[in-house]
Amino acid sequence: MAAEMRQPKPLHFLLLLATASLCALARTVKAAGGGGMPLVTAITKDAATSLYTAPLRDNRPLVLDLSGPIVWTTCDGPSHDTLDCSSHACMRAHRFQPPNCPQTGYGEPDARNRCKCTAHPHNPVSGDTASGDVTRVTLSANATDGKNPLYEVSFTAVASCAPGSLLAKLPAGAAGVAGLARSDLALQAQVADTQKVGSKFALCLPSAGSGAGVAIFGGGPLFLLPPGRTDVNATLAGYTPLRKHGESPGYYISADKGIAVNQARLQLDDGYGAPLVLGLCSTIPYTALRPDVYRAFIKAFDATTAERARITPAVAPFELCYNSTQLGSTRLGYAVPQIDLMLEGGRNWTVFGGNSMVQVSDDTACLAFVEMKQGEADKQGESPAAVIGGFQMENNLVVFDEEKQRLGFSSLLWGRQTTCSNFNFTMAA
Ligand SMILES: *[C@@H]1O[C@H](CO)[C@@H](O)[C@H](O)[C@H]1NC(C)=O
Ligand SMILES: *[C@@H]1O[C@H](CO)[C@@H](O)[C@H](O)[C@H]1NC(C)=O
Ligand SMILES: *[C@@H]1O[C@H](CO)[C@@H](O)[C@H](O)[C@H]1NC(C)=O
Ligand SMILES: *[C@@H]1O[C@H](CO)[C@@H](O)[C@H](O)[C@H]1NC(C)=O
Ligand SMILES: *[C@@H]1O[C@H](CO)[C@@H](O)[C@H](O)[C@H]1NC(C)=O
C-alpha cells in the first residue's frame, strides 16, 4: 500500500505551533484532546438561501453541512495533486456514498496507469452528486481561547474537487461544502487530526440580519459578550446520547418520551408517541416533521392557541400564522406555548417563541415547522420523526461531541441576555 503523501508545512505554521506548545509548557496546562488549540470561525447566514457558511477556504465561504461526510470545493484547474486509490484517505472518502449513488470503485487509472482517487461530492440543496478528484487543500481559521481569535492557522485537509456546476443553489461566492457529519474526512475530524484537539465542535448559528455567529472546533470554552459572563459551554441545559440511524453519517438523537406541546405529549397513530428519532440538519431552513407527527403537532398547537388572532390564509409553507401585534412577548420571544423535545437522558430541549415563530411580515408571525416532503417521508418508520432545521438551532449553542458520543444543547441564549452574534471577533492583543 502506498504511503500517504505529506506536504511540508509552511514555516510560519511550525513556528506558531512551537510558540503555542511553549506557552502551554510555561503554564503547564494542557487543553483537552491532545494539547492543541481549538479553532474558531465566523458563521454567516445567507439571506437568499438561508444556508450557513464559514470563510474557511482562502476567506471564501464553505456551506456548513451537518449531514456531509466530506469537504468539497472547486479546484484550480487540472494542476492539483490527486491522491492514490490505495491511500488511507481514499478509502475513508468512500466510506459513505451519497444518496442514489452506487459504489463505483475508488478511482480511474491515469495516463501513467496510476489509480487516481475520485469521490462523490454531493450538493445537499440541489440534491446533485458529481465525481471529483480527491486532493489536498489549504483551509484556515483562527486559534482561540474561547474568548477571542488569537492567531490565524492554516492547515492541509483532504477534500474532493467538484465541478463549478455543483455550486448551483449555494450562496453567491461559496466555494463548496464543509461536511460536519460523523466521518473521518469531515471538517472537525480533520481539525482534530491536524491540530491535536478533540473530535468535537460547537455551533452557534446566527439569526437572519444579525451579526456573525460562531463555531468552535476542538472543544474548550465559549464566552459570549458582554464580558464577565460564564462559559456557555460549561452551563448547557443538557446532554443526550448521539444515535446512529441506518447507514446515514448524520447526527441523530432520541426523544424517548416524545414531543410535548404546552406540556401535553403528542399522541401519535401508534397510540403513544415515543420513542421518536430526531435528526439535525443545517441545510434545511425549518424543522421538518414526518406527516403523522406533523398532523398531531399542528392540531395540538392550533388547539392551545385557539383564542389567538390568526392571519388567514396562512403564509406558505406554514400552516398556522398569527397577528404578531397581539401575541405578546417575553424575553424568550413571542408568548406562545412551549414545545418540549423530551430527550433520552431525561432533559428537555425546550423550543420557545424565539425558535418556534418566524416573522414573515410586519404583523404576521408563523409557526416555523413544515411537513416532511414526500420521498423523504415515504419509507415510514425509516424516516426520522423530525429533522431539526436551522431556524430552531439559531441562538442556541449546540455541541456535537464525537468523543463522548453525545449532543449538548444550551436552550435559547436570549434567556441569558446574549445571542450567537456576540462572540468577540477582535484579535486578542
Ligand atoms: C481571524 O480573525 C480575524 C479577526 O477577527 C479575521 O479578520 C480573520 O478573517 C480571521 N481569519 C480566518 C481565516 O477566519
Ligand atoms: C464543552 O464542555 C465539555 C464538557 O465539559 C468539554 O468536553 C468540551 O471540550 C467543551 N467544548 C466543546 C466545544 O465541546
Ligand atoms: C419535560 O417536558 C415535559 C412536558 O412539558 C414536562 O412534563 C417535564 O417535567 C419536563 N422535564 C424536565 C426535566 O424539565
Ligand atoms: C393585527 O392586530 C392589530 C391590532 O389589533 C390590527 O390593527 C391589525 O389590523 C391586525 N393585522 C392584521 C393583518 O389583521
Ligand atoms: C473584545 O476583545 C478585545 C481584545 O481582547 C478587547 O480589547 C475588547 O474590549 C473586547 N470587546 C468587548 C466589547 O468586550
Asked if 171 and 240 sit in the same domain, the reply is no
**Residue in 311, 323, 362 to alter for ligand 4 test, most ligand atoms within 8 A of Cβ:** 323
Alpha carbon of 339 to ligand 3 centroid (Å): 10
Enclosing domain of residue 339? 232-416
Let me know: does 282 contact 205? Beta carbons within 8 Å.
Answer: yes
Alpha carbon of 256 to ligand 3 centroid (Å): 12
Q: Is the CB of 215 under 6 A from ligand 1?
A: no
Among protein residues, the one whose CA lies closest to atom 3 of ligand 4:
325
Smallest CA-to-CA distance from 254 within 397, 406, 404 is with 406
Question: What is the domain-level CATH number for residue 115?
Answer: 2.40.70.10
- Specify if 46 maps to a domain: yes
Alpha carbon of 64 to ligand 4 centroid (Å): 39
Nearest ligand (C-alpha, residue 38): 2
Residues lining ligand 3, CB < 6 A? 260, 263, 340, 342, 346-348
Asked if 135 and 57 sit in the same domain, the reply is yes
* Domain count along the chain: 2
- Cα-Cα-Cα-Cα torsion 281, 283, 287, 291, nearest 10 degrees, comes to -90
Let me know: does 42 contact 425? Beta carbons within 8 Å.
Answer: yes
- Specify if 349 maps to a domain: yes
Asked if 103 and 180 sit in the same domain, the reply is yes
Asked if 289 and 191 sit in the same domain, the reply is no
Instruction: Give the C-alpha separation, 92 to 184, whole Å.
Output: 7
Per-residue pLDDT of the chain (429 residues; tens, 9 = 90+): 333 333 333 434 333 333 333 333 333 333 344 569 999 999 999 999 999 999 999 889 999 999 999 999 999 777 788 999 989 999 998 888 776 555 556 666 666 677 889 999 999 999 999 999 999 999 999 999 999 999 999 999 999 999 999 999 999 999 999 999 999 999 999 999 999 999 999 999 999 999 999 999 999 999 999 877 889 999 999 999 999 999 899 999 999 999 999 999 999 877 677 799 999 999 999 999 999 999 999 999 999 999 999 999 999 999 999 999 999 999 999 999 999 999 999 999 999 999 999 999 999 999 999 999 866 554 445 789 999 999 999 999 999 999 999 999 999 999 999 999 999 999 998
Alpha carbon of 142 to ligand 1 centroid (Å): 6
Let me know: does 170 contact 84? Beta carbons within 8 Å.
Answer: no
Nearest atom in ligand 3 to 265's CA: 4
**Counting beta carbons within 10 angstroms of the beta carbon of residue 210, is it exposed (0 to 12), middle (13 to 18) or buried (19 or more)?**
middle
- Specify if 212 maps to a domain: no
Q: Is the dihedral of CA 388, 394, 398, 402 positive or negative?
A: positive
Instruction: Give the C-alpha separation, 136 to 187, whole Å.
Output: 13
Number of H-type helices and E-type strands within the chain: 6, 29
H/E stretch holding 264: strand 264-265
Q: Is the dihedral of CA 184, 187, 188, 192 positive or negative?
A: positive
Asked if 185 and 316 sit in the same domain, the reply is no
Alpha carbon of 33 to ligand 2 centroid (Å): 10
Nearest ligand (C-alpha, residue 274): 3
Asked if 57 and 158 sit in the same domain, the reply is yes
Alpha carbon of 347 to ligand 5 centroid (Å): 35
Among protein residues, the one whose CA lies closest to atom 10 of ligand 3:
348
Domain final residue pick, 197, 224, 246: 197
Residues lining ligand 2, CB < 6 A? 32, 198, 200, 202, 216, 219-220, 233, 399, 401
Nearest atom in ligand 4 to 323's CA: 1
Give the number of other CB atoms < 10 A from CB of residue 130.
19
pTM, two decimals, is: 0.90
The three grid cell numbers given for residue 407, joined into one nine-digit string: 449532543
Asked if 251 and 378 sit in the same domain, the reply is yes
Nearest ligand (C-alpha, residue 34): 2
- Specify if 14 maps to a domain: no
Alpha carbon of 167 to ligand 1 centroid (Å): 24
For residue 17, what pLDDT is reported? 38
Asked if 369 and 275 sit in the same domain, the reply is yes
Alpha carbon of 131 to ligand 3 centroid (Å): 47
| 6-19 b/e (C-beta count within 10 Å ≥ 16 → b) | eeeeeeebeebbee
Asked if 153 and 283 sit in the same domain, the reply is no
Among protein residues, the one whose CA lies closest to atom 13 of ligand 3:
347
- Specify if 6 maps to a domain: no
- What does the DSSP assignment read for 188-238? HHHHHHHHT--SEEEEEPPPTTS--EEEEES------SSTT---GGGG-SE
Q: Pick left, alpha or beta for residue 336 (phi over 0 → left; psi -120 to 50 → alpha; otherwise beta).
A: beta
Backbone angles phi, psi at 21, to 5 degrees: -75, -30
Backbone angles phi, psi at 324, to 5 degrees: -70, -20
Alpha carbon of 40 to ligand 1 centroid (Å): 9
Asked if 174 and 306 sit in the same domain, the reply is no
- Specify if 35 maps to a domain: no
H/E stretch holding 260: strand 259-261
For residue 196, what pLDDT is reported? 96
Domain final residue pick, 197, 220, 250: 197
Asked if 372 and 280 sit in the same domain, the reply is yes
Nearest atom in ligand 5 to 424's CA: 1
Pairing of strands 60-65, 176-179: parallel
Alpha carbon of 426 to ligand 5 centroid (Å): 6
Instruction: Give the C-alpha separation, 54 to 62, whole Å.
Output: 6
The three grid cell numbers given for residue 44, joined into one nine-digit string: 454567516
Domain final residue pick, 147, 178, 197: 197
- Specify if 3 maps to a domain: no
The three grid cell numbers given for residue 360, joined into one nine-digit string: 414573515
For residue 59, what pLDDT is reported? 85
Which residues 6+ apart lie within 8 Å of 301 measured at CB? 261, 262, 320, 337, 339, 367
**Residue in 41, 144, 196, 200 to alter for ligand 2 test, most ligand atoms within 8 A of Cβ:** 200
Asked if 259 and 376 sit in the same domain, the reply is yes
Alpha carbon of 2 to ligand 5 centroid (Å): 49
- Specify if 215 maps to a domain: no
Among protein residues, the one whose CA lies closest to atom 10 of ligand 4:
323
